[in-house]
Structure 1
Amino acid sequence: MEDKNISCSPNGLSRRTLLAGAAGLSVAAVLPGAARASLTIPESLPLETQDYAEARTHFRTRLLRRISAPELSGPLGTPPGATRVTYPGGPHGSIELVAWLSHYEPSKKLKPAVLFLHGGNATGDGHWALMKPYWDAGYVVLLPSFRGENGQKGDYSGFYDETADALAAASYLENLPGIDKDRLFLAGHSNGGTLSLLASMARKFRAAVPMSAGVNSWRYFNRYSDELCFDDANPKEFIMRSSVCFGPSLKCPTLLLRGSEERPFDADHKLLMNRVLSAGIMIDNMVLPGTHNGVVPAAVAQSIHFFDHFS
């Protein structure tokens, strides 16, 4: 989540690339935010005993700034090979958000499906171009956009309400005609990898492959302080955005992937894995050749190999 292989400008604002080169996307501008002091990252990350899904029913994030997703981007069209659909994201389905769905014909033989959560804070055609291997392998794929992206309604919350959008997109996908609800898979890259971990702690998927995911939100928002829009004086805000704090809540077999030229799996990731394994859930990690962005095609291929074991 926090390792994007990019530098920060002197005023603390980060410059973003969304799968540049590999996906053919341009560098996106960043919405300025208020200057903030560095966060104190806990030396010992708390372990929550409450299940993450249950914890979400009792927690509501408190936004101190109402902002759109912090990347400037144009309206969403319909890239080749996709059908443009809308799904009911937002609180209680109150926001209609755009998603791209691969072409398929419903039949009596139910099809496996992949929900893919994109990286960065905007949706682009380059993200969709990376999805082709999934439908070539027989999976129906849905790539959702999130609140506040590409001029859409909704306030950016920094992973928390976006997790609700991801869960809503999963419900939309599994209820499409001809989709096998027992073979609904989840994958995501970078910010989408972070959301993949949180979503797979809130509901059960058949299996999940988070790519270049972050697990510690204190580290992310310490680096990208311009994106802090919630009450950072409340530790619970960070806990609810940190999958490492809810390791035993993971509900499906999971493979963590990362590029060899990006920040390696660190103590936070090892702690997450230990907490997941202690609950008897399968989790593993793998390093693939490549940078943070360049690893995505190989990671998609590896995710298909992983999902095939459960199809």
Structure 2
Amino acid sequence: MDRDPHNPHTRAMRSVRHSRARLVALGAGWSPAALISVALALGVGPAGCRKSEVARPDEVVRAEPTTPYLARRHAHETQLRELGPSPGEYSDDAPPRGVQSVTYPSGELSLRAWYATPLGASGSRSAPALVYFHGDFAFGPDDFEAVRPFLDAGYVVMAPTLRGENGNPGDFELLWGEVDDARAAVEWLAAQPMVDRRRVYAFGHSIGGAVAAMLSLYPQLPLRMSASCGGIYVPETFGRWAASTGNRELVRFDPSDPSETELRVLGPNLPWMVHRHVAYVGRDDPWFIDNAAALERRAWELGKPFEKIEVPGDHMASLAPALAAFLELTYLDIPGS
């Protein structure tokens, strides 16, 4: 989430509960086919590129890196000027009935997640699976409720917390070590006995969407597709945040160092994209529309599987229709077809 005071998205992420409740209501007692009909009624069709006629790229024009993303990332060690946990506020809530609190390994860290399997799931590796990356730099029960329709539709669902969040070990790094944690979460979920490794999906909202987008750069990851809602950031984001009173605590590295900023977002690394990513953006969330539109144009030039799809709502209210659209997309997705 961009907490820049010049943008209409502040730390009040929990105000999105009304949108999440709307999506939960969509999933309660509905069949997958009914959910698909609801998504279509929201004006969200099957996957496709819907280019805006006029889009203002928020990125400064610059030469693209020539060294592959993974090589540059491996060679770079982020330099944090401050160590400590995520600034996101949280409470230590117990999971609801039918949801387990589990741990998954990420390097030397042991991180927590909520995990649930659909009724009737067996060990036959037949169920699709979703990893959901929350926004607001902390996880809460409403984050899981946002994706309960996937569970009701027969998906195994994992909602991980990342390093430095919710009492986890590790330091908050802002789209650096957190991406390693996200990869580890996908690997952990894909290894579960009832999960079809060919149908593991990732979705993230706001800053969680930026995490999900970065997963598209890892060729060995057992990931069928990722998506974001209001999650396409640019290198210049970090400089703006660092210069603002409300957001400077988020940027604990040098925002003037291109190695620190360009390795944390998808745009400069688009040439090395390997997994499909769908960027959902609210029609009333113009800042993210422009960012996603710029990437979509470049992706078309490169032949990369990135696409922008507009849905109703602003940065907060767009989450419900975006998740409904992604459920439709993944439910109809058949590997190898």
Task: Tell me which interval the TM-score lies in, with the shorter structure as reference length.
Answer: 0.7 to 0.9
Quick check: 43-52 or 255-264, which moved more? 43-52
Change (3 A) 1:245 1:291: same
Q: Deviations over 1:96-129 (max 9, x none)?
A: 1111111243332521111111111000000001
Partner amino acid, structure 1, of 2:13 = T
Which residue in the other structure is 2:67 paired with?
50
Candidates 216, 220, 226, aligned match of 1:208:
226
List aligned pairs for 1:108-257, cutoff 5 A.
108-203=124-219, 204=221, 205-223=223-241, 224-257=247-280
The alignment of Structure 1 onto Structure 2 pairs a total of residues equal to 286
SS of the aligned residue for 1:197 comes to helix
Paired residues of 2:135 and 2:204 also in contact (CA < 8 A): yes
Query: Counterpart of 2:286 in 1: which secondary structure?
Result: coil
CA separation of 1:85/1:45 partners in 2, compared to 1, >3 Å: closer, same or farther?
farther
CA gap 1:309/1:51 in 2 versus in 1, 3 angstroms: farther
Partners of 2:268 and 2:77 in 1: CA distance: 17
One-letter amino acid of the structure 1 residue matched with residue 254 of structure 2? D
Paired position in structure 2 for 1:11: none
List per-residue Cα deviations over 1:9-44 (Å, max 9, x = no partner).
xxxxx64423343347xxxxxxxxxxxxxxxx9721
CA distance in 2, matches of 1:283, 1:119: 21
Cα distance in 2 between the residues matched to 1:143 and 1:191: 14
Work out the CA distance in 2 between the residues paired with 1:163 and 1:66.
17
Q: Over residues 204-252 of structure 1, what are the superposed CA-to-partner deviations in whole Å (9 max), with x where a residue is unaligned?
A: 5211211111230322451332211113342210011121101122212
TM-score by length of 2: 0.78
Pair 1:62–1:208, CA change in 2 (3 A)? same
| Partner in structure 2 of residue 287 of structure 1 | 310
Asked if 1:94 is matched to 2:108, the reply is yes
Secondary structure in 2 matching 1:21: helix
Q: 1:221 to 1:177 in 2, by over 3 A?
A: farther
Q: Which residue of 2 aligns with 1:22?
A: 19
Specify every segment of 5 or more residues in structure 2 that has no aligned partner in the other structure, as ranges.
Answer: 22-57, 242-246
Does 234-243 or 264-273 show the bigger shift?
A: 264-273
> Given that residues 233 and 288 in structure 2 are in contact (C-alpha distance below 8 angstroms), is that contact kept between their aligned partners in structure 1?
no
Distance 1:234 1:101, change over 3 A: same
State yes or no: 1:69 paired with 2:86: yes
CA–CA distance in structure 1, aligned partners of residues 229 and 256 of structure 2: 30
Q: Greater helix share, 1 or 2?
A: 2
